[in-house]
C-alpha cells in the first residue's frame, strides 16, 4: 500500500478518546496520524485526523472554526462542568425562558476570558489537569481568551434544558461555556450531551465511524483521506491531459491530499456510437502512463444508468463518494445527462459543498486549435506525410507508441537474416497507416533503435490479422512473453507484398539503412 496522506473525517463516538481514535486510524493506514482538536471522551461528532504528510497541516486545521450542538442543563453544577461529574450544587431553574438563556449567552459572543476546567487534558507543569483533579487537588490556572462567533438557543423536550448551537474558535471548552451561562443566569448549569457538527470544513454528517474504517479495503482508503481529482475519457495522454494531471499533482502536494483521476470504461464514444471504436491508446497503455505519473486511477463503469445521471447527481458522486476536495477540469468540460453540466454548474455546486474548482485552459497547437484526441487521430491516419508523426508527438508530448507482449511468429525474419519480434495489438487498438517505421523499442527500461512493420504481412501471411514485427538493432535475446513498448518516430514506406523472401530481405536492408540515417540526425550522432 502506498503511503497515504490527507485528512480522514472520523465520526468519534461517545466513550472513545480523541487520542485513541487517532491511534485506531494509524493502525489502519499504517502511517503517522494526528487529530486536529481534542473532543471530550463522552462527546460525539467530527474529529478530523491528519494522515501521513498532512500531519504538517495540524496548526492550519486546528486553528479553524468549529461548530457544536450542546445540551445545557440549568440548575445543576458539577465538578467536571458536565453531567458525568459529581453534582456539587442544585438550584431551581423554573421559569427561565429561551429568550433569557439567549440573552445570557449573548454576553459571551465576540470572545471572553475563559477558565480551563480542571477535568481537561490541558497540561500544567507537564501534568494533565484531569490527573491533578483526580488526586483531589486544584491547580492554579490562568484564564484564556476564546472566540465565540455565534450562539443560537433552541427549546429542549425536557424542562430546564436547552440546546445550544455554538460557533467558536480554537480552544473553547463548551462545558465551561455552559457553566458560565448558568452562572450568568444565577442558577448554575452543566453540559449534558455534546455533538461537534463541524470542524475545519469537515462535517459530522459526512464522518466515518471507526468500525467502518476498519472494514474499508486498503485500495479505497485514499478516498477517505480526501483527493484532488480530474475527470476525462483519456483516449490518449496528450499535452492537455498532461497539464491537467500536473495541476492535480501540484495541488495535491501543496494540500497534502491524494492526486487521482477518474476515467470511464467503456469509452463513452464506444457506448454511444461505435462499440468497435479503436482507441489511440488501450486501457493498459493509458494505465501505464497514469502509473508513471504516480497518480491514483478510478475507473467508472460507463453504462445506461451512469449516462442518465443528471449533473447534480454526477457532482454528488464525485465530491462525496471520492471525497474530492479540489476538482480540476478543462475550461470546456461538460458532464451529466445530455452534457447539460458545465464549469459554471460545477462552481455553483462546489460553493454549496465547500469544495473548490480549478479550471485549466486548453493547450493550443501552433495553428491555434485546441489539442484533442480527434485531432491527433486525424494526423496519425496520415503518418506517411512528412512531419505527421512529429506533429502528433508535439501534441502528445511523447511519441505515439504500442505496448504489447511478444508472441511467437513464423520466424520468417530469422530465416532471411533479420530476426523480428511479433506483437499482436488488441482489436480495439488504433494503428497508424500500414507500413514500415523507424522506431525505438523499450526492453526492460532500455531503448533500442529498430524498424517496425505495421500491417498484415502480405508476403508471408494470409490471415489478414494486423500485427507489428520489429527488428531490433544490436539485440540478441529471447523476449517471448515480455512486455515491450514501441515508439514510432518516422514513416519509411507503405506495406506491400513482395514476390519472394529474397526480395523482402533486400528491402529490409534498405529500410534499415534509411532508419540508421534518420537515427544519426535524431540522436545528433557524428
Residue 329 · residue 343 · CB < 8 Å:
yes
Segment (H or E) for 182: helix 174-185
What are the grid coordinates assigned to 237, written together? 495522454
Q: Does an H or E element contain 324, and which?
A: strand 324-330
Distances (CA, A) of 505 to 380, 417, 501, 517: 28, 8, 6, 19
SS3 443: strand
For residue 299, what are the β-bridge partners? 263
The residue from 2, 40, 206, 342 that is catalytic is 40
CA distance 281 to 288: 10
Q: How far apart are the C-alpha atoms of 65 and 104, rounded to whole Å? A: 22
**94 is a catalytic site residue:** no
What is the rounded CA–CA span in Å between residue 117 and residue 356?
Answer: 38
- The set of cell numbers assigned to 448 is 533500442
CA–CA dist 312, 303 (Å, integer)? 18
Bridge-based pairing of strands 227-231 and 324-330 is parallel
Burial per residue of 47-73, b for 16 or more beta-carbon CB atoms within 10 angstroms, e otherwise: bbbbbbbbbebeeebbebebbbbbbbb
DSSP 3-state of 211: helix
Q: What interhelical angle do 388-396 and 373-380 show, nearest 10?
A: 160
The helix/strand/coil state of 266 is coil
Upper half-sphere CA count for residue 175 (Cβ side, 13 Å) = 22
Cβ burial, residue 18 (10 Å; 0-12/13-18/19+): buried
How many angstroms separate the CA atoms of 105 and 150, rounded?
9
Q: At which residue does the C-alpha cell 425562558 appear?
A: 97
Among residues 314, 269, 307, 491, which one has the least CA distance to residue 388? 491
CA within 13 Å, CB half, 342: 4
Give the strand pairing for 161-168 and 324-330.
unpaired
Long-range contacts of 275-278 (CB under 8 A, 24+ apart): 276/427, 276/428, 277/428, 278/427, 278/428, 278/429, 278/430, 278/431
Which positions are annotated as active-site residues? 40
Amino acid at each position: 500500500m502506498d503511503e497515504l496522506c490527507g485528512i480522514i473525517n472520523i465520526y468519534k463516538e461517545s466513550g472513545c478518546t480523541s487520542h485513541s481514535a487517532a491511534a485506531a486510524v494509524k493502525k489502519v493506514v499504517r502511517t503517522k496520524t494526528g487529530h486536529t482538536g481534542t473532543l471530550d471522551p463522552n462527546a460525539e461528532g467530527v474529529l478530523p485526523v491528519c494522515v501521513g504528510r498532512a500531519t504538517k497541516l495540524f496548526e492550519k486545521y486546528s486553528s479553524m472554526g468549529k461548530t457544536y450542538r450542546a445540551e445545557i442543563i440549568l440548575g445543576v453544577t458539577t465538578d467536571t462542568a458536565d453531567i458525568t461529574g459529581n453534582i456539587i450544587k442544585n438550584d431551581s431553574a423554573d421559569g427561565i425562558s429561551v429568550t433569557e438563556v439567549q440573552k445570557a449567552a449573548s454576553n459571551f459572543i465576540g470572545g471572553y476570558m475563559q477558565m480551563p476546567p480542571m477535568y481537561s487534558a490541558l497540561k500544567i507543569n507537564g501534568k494533565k489537569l484531569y490527573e491533578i483533579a483526580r488526586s483531589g487537588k486544584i491547580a492554579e490556572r490562568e484564564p484564556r481568551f476564546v472566540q465565540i462567533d455565534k450562539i443560537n438557543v433552541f427549546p429542549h423536550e425536557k424542562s430546564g434544558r436547552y440546546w445550544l448551537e455554538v460557533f467558536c474558535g480554537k480552544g473553547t471548552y463548551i462545558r465551561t461555556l455552559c457553566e458560565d451561562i448558568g452562572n450568568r443566569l444565577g442558577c448554575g448549569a452543566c453540559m449534558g450531551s455534546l455533538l461537534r457538527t463541524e470542524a475545519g470544513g469537515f462535517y459530522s454528517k459526512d464522518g466515518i465511524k471507526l468500525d467502518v474504517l476498519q472494514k474499508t479495503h486498503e485500495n479505497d482508503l485514499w478516498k477517505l483521506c480526501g483527493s484532488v481529482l480530474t475527470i476525462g475519457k483519456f483516449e490518449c495522454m496528450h499535452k492537455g491531459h498532461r497539464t491537467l494531471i500536473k495541476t492535480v499533482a501540484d495541488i495535491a502536494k501543496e494540500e497534502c491530499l491524494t492526486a487521482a483521476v477518474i476515467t470511464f470504461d467503456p469509452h463513452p464514444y464506444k457506448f454511444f456510437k461505435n462499440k468497435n471504436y479503436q482507441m489511440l491508446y488501450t486501457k493498459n497503455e493509458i494505465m501505464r502512463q497514469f502509473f508513471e505519473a504516480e497518480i491514483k486511477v478510478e475507473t467508472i463503469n460507463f453504462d445506461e444508468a451512469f449516462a442518465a445521471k443528471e449533473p447534480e447527481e454526477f457532482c454528488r458522486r464525485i465530491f462525496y463518494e471520492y471525497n474530492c476536495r479540489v476538482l480540476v477540469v478543462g475550461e470546456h468540460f461538460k458532464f451529466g445527462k445530455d452534457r447539460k453540466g458545465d464549469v459554471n454548474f460545477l462552481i455553483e455546486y462546489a460553493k454549496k459543498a465547500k469544495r473548490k474548482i480549478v479550471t485549466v485552459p486548453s493547450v493550443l497547437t501552433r495553428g491555434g486549435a485546441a489539442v484533442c484526441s480527434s485531432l491527433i487521430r486525424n494526423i496519425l491516419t496520415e503518418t506517411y506525410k512528412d512531419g505527421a508523426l512529429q506533429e502528433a508527438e508535439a501534441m502528445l508530448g511523447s511519441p505515439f507508441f504500442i505496448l504489447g507482449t511478444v508472441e511467437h511468429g513464423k520466424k520468417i525474419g530469422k530465416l532471411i537474416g533479420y530476426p523480428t519480434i511479433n506483437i499482436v495489438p488488441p482489436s480495439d487498438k488504433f494503428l497508424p497507416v500500414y507500413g514500415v517505421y523507424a522506431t525505438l523499442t523499450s526492453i526492460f527500461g532500455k531503448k533500442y533503435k529498430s524498424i517496425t512493420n505495421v500491417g498484415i504481412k502480405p508476403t508471408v501471411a494470409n490471415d489478414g490479422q494486423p500485427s507489428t514485427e520489429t527488428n531490433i538493432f544490436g539485440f540478441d535475446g529471447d523476449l517471448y512473453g515480455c512486455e515491450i513498448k514501441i515508439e514510432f518516430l518516422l514513416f519509411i514506406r507503405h506495406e506491400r507484398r513482395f514476390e519472394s523472401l529474397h526480395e523482402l530481405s533486400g528491402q529490409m536492408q534498405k529500410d534499415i539503412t534509411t532508419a540508421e540515417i534518420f537515427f544519426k540526425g535524431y540522436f545528433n550522432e557524428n
